[in-house]
């Protein structure tokens, strides 16, 4: 009988979420070790065309469960739609993003299967004759735990978004796709989504933030960090920083980034007065563009940066802020200014 690694994919505004694609790629790696296939389950309304993207990231099979009542998320709706399909053929391993939505229904399924459910997973592996091995983050990121189970135990694992990152999709890859349209009665859903609020970058979880502005010991204290925060607010970015800054009380402890803190994967990561210690850099490996401002041209972060500015942050930050303020006052719209909208003469670009 064929063995499957099942992946639950999620959508947001009609698009697959990046954490879902990370799970598909992680599932692909695990399936290759097990000699299994990757079977992705996707729930929603008119989401079948997304099967192509799932195939490009490693899916062998895609089961799409469609219904008008699934246009908006409902934990009961997802259970009604997916449980019958999943219970028919329990997989070798189930992977899903560690998201609020998944956490609202997957535990119920794990209870029915009497299978372990593991959150905050960072890496899934297979050891020995097919034993699942999971590395997960515990104690708010301060520790990592390695878990293994006996052969053939079905484990449901939820992956922390942003840890793995996604690779290049393979165009032309095809998955066997089945579209199911079950009879669902939304009147029996005990929960439903009324409307979805846009994420507030100031409070969004760092591992979901698209832009992060970080401050380190070089900010010199709470006043320097307040300037970094002002810049973050102007850019619609989340505030982050280093452990040293958090240890000194300049930053909330849940906002420091690194191997013992938050693992992030923003599109833009700006670092002010951050040296770039290994423990910090290991938390930003998934970042797309890194801009670092440091007055020491030998600081390791400048090697990682796509744009390095060698200069005093106490001179550069006020210039940036005044340019952004001027731009905001002339701008007609109230959208947060994106980094491409302003230009500052860099003091010196690191080579």
Ligand X SMILES: Cc1cc2nc3c(=O)[nH]c(=O)nc-3n(C[C@H](O)[C@H](O)[C@H](O)COP(=O)(O)OP(=O)(O)OC[C@H]3O[C@@H](n4cnc5c(N)ncnc54)[C@H](O)[C@@H]3O)c2cc1C
Residue ranges binding ligand X (CB under 6 A) = 216-218, 242-245, 256-261, 273-275, 277, 279-280, 283, 293-296, 299, 312-314
Whichever of 44 and 161 has its CB closer to ligand X, that residue is: 161
- Look up tokens 């372990």; give the residue: 116
Residues 6+ apart with CB under 8 A from 31: 4, 5, 37, 38, 58, 60
3/314 with CB nearer ligand X: 314
Tell me the three state secondary structure of residue 95: strand
Q: Is 273 annotated as a binding residue?
A: yes
Which single residue is written with the structure tokens 């980094």? 339
Q: How far is the CB of 283 from ligand X (least distance, A)?
A: 6
Distance, in Å, from the CA atom of 130 to the CA atom of 149, rounded to the nearest integer, reads: 10
CB of 240 to ligand X, least distance (A): 9
3-state secondary structure of 207: helix
Query: Least distance (Å) from ligand X to the CB of residue 120?
Result: 15
DSSP string, 20-67: HHHHHHHHHHHHHHHT-EEEEEEEESS-GGGHHHHHHTT-SEEEEEE-
DSSP code string of 193-206 = ----PPP-TTTS-G
The residue (of 56 and 213) whose beta carbon lies closer to ligand X is 213
278 in a known ligand binding site: yes
Q: Which lies closer to ligand X via its Cβ, residue 173 or residue 314?
A: 314
Q: Determine whether the annotation assigns residue 279 to a binding site.
A: yes
Q: Are 216 and 299 in contact (CB under 8 A)?
A: no
- 341 annotated to bind ligand: no
Which letter does DSSP use for residue 150 in this model?
-
Q: Tell me: is residue 207 an annotated ligand-binding position.
A: no
C-alpha 90/C-alpha 98 separation (Å) is 20
CB of 57 or CB of 280, closer to ligand X: 280
∠ CA 66-120-284 to the nearest 5 degrees?
A: 105
Flag whether 67 is marked binding: no
- Least distance in Å: CB of 139 to ligand X? 13
Q: Specify the DSSP element, H or E, that contains 316.
A: helix 313-330
CB of 314 to ligand X, least distance (A): 5
- For residue 297, what are the CA distances in angstroms to 93, 120, 291, 308, 348? 47, 37, 14, 9, 10
Report the residue number, 47 or 274, with the smaller CB distance to ligand X: 274
Of 180 and 321, which has the nearer Cβ to ligand X?
321
* Residue 229 C-beta: closest distance to ligand X, Å: 15
Minimum CB distance to ligand X, residue 226 (Å): 15
- Binding residues for FAD, as ranges, are 242-243, 273-280, 294
């Amino acid at each position: 009988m064929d063995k499957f690694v099942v992946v639950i994919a999620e959508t947001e505004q009609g698009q697959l979420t990046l954490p879902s694609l990370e799970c598909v790629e992680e599932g692909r790696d695990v399936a290759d070790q097990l000699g299994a296939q990757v079977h992705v389950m996707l729930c929603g309304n008119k989401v079948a065309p997304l099967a192509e993207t799932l195939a490009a990231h490693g899916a062998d099979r895609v089961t799409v469960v469609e219904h008008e009542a699934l246009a908006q998320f409902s934990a009961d709706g997802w259970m009604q739609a997916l449980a019958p399909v999943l219970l028919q053929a329990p997989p070798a391993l189930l992977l899903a993003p560690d998201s609020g939505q998944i956490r609202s229904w997957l535990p119920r399924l794990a209870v029915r299967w009497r299978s372990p459910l593991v959150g905050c997973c960072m890496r899934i592996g297979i050891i020995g004759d097919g034993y699942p091995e999971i590395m997960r983050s515990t104690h708010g990121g301060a520790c990592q735990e390695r878990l293994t189970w006996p052969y053939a135990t079905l484990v449901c694992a939820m992956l922390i978004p942003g840890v793995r990152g996604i690779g290049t999709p393979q165009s032309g890859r095809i998955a066997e796709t089945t579209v199911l349209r079950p009879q669902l009665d939304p009147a029996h859903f005990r929960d439903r989504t009324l409307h979805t609020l846009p994420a507030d970058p100031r409070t969004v979880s760092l591992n979901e933030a698209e832009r992060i502005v970080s401050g380190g010991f070089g900010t010199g204290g709470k006043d320097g960090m307040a300037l970094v925060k002002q810049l973050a607010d102007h850019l619609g970015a989340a505030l982050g920083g280093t452990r040293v800054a958090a240890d000194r009380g300049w930053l909330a402890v849940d906002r420091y980034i690194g191997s013992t803190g938050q693992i992030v994967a923003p599109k833009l990561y700006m670092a002010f007065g951050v040296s770039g210690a290994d423990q910090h850099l290991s938390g930003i490996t998934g970042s797309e563009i890194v801009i670092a401002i440091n007055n020491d041209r030998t600081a390791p972060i400048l090697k990682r940066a796509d744009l390095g500015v060698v200069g005093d942050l106490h001179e550069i930050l006020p210039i940036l802020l005044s340019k952004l303020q001027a731009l905001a006052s002339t701008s007609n719209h109230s959208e947060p200014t994106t980094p491409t909208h302003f230009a500052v003469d860099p003091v010196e670009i690191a080579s």
